[in-house]
Chain A
């Protein structure tokens, strides 16, 4: 059974940084692309970033490009999202998801990031 467990969320001031982690189990992690998707309070889903299984390719939404960095450690079966220069509109629940060539069959439970002074 695929399990994804996010951690690292919390309250941070505008301009601050945070690193999210997503521990994966139950599937061949290094063979699968992974994505981060976020959901602002009361809003819809927004894809944030994706990374290939080998980490050779990364992709970002324009809204986070240059501020967020996706990475992975295939030895630790862990996905990361380094978030810098955080803004109030980055406040959201962040989900990691298994990415099967674009559709997302498995999701974590989410971790809440709040950006506020």
Chain B
């Protein structure tokens, strides 16, 4: 199975900050990577697919980049609504696997 490793596990930041979350795959997944946002008690929400494609309705402050084994999710200017947990997911093959999550908290 492909292992997905996110860093950091916890990130403290302030409104207006630019933040970057990294996701590494244990083998090349080309661009078959998605990013999700999850808030407590809610289902995950798709932000980015195919590494850099922004899902419809997602604010443009979110962006994704990378290919192969290294990927990043960038939030250009944090808003209060962005404090949540973020997960990456590979879908080059089954079983799909998720990163362990990055908890983005208010500094």
Contact = CB atoms under 8 A, between A and B. Distances in A.
A47 B98 contact: yes
Contacts of B43: 95, 107-110
A110 B43 CA distance: 7
Contacts of A95: 43-44
Does more than half of chain A's interface fall in helix, strand or loop, or is it mixed?
Answer: strand
Interface residues of B, number: 25
A70 interface: no
A62 B46 contact: no
B65 interface: no
B56 to A, nearest CB: 9
A102 interface: yes
Interface string A80-111: 00000000000000010000111111111110
A44 B87 contact: yes
B91 A101 contact: yes
Contacts of A47: 89, 95-98
A64 B98 CA distance: 17
A102 B98 CA distance: 12
Interface of A: 35, 37, 44-47, 50, 59-62, 95, 100-110
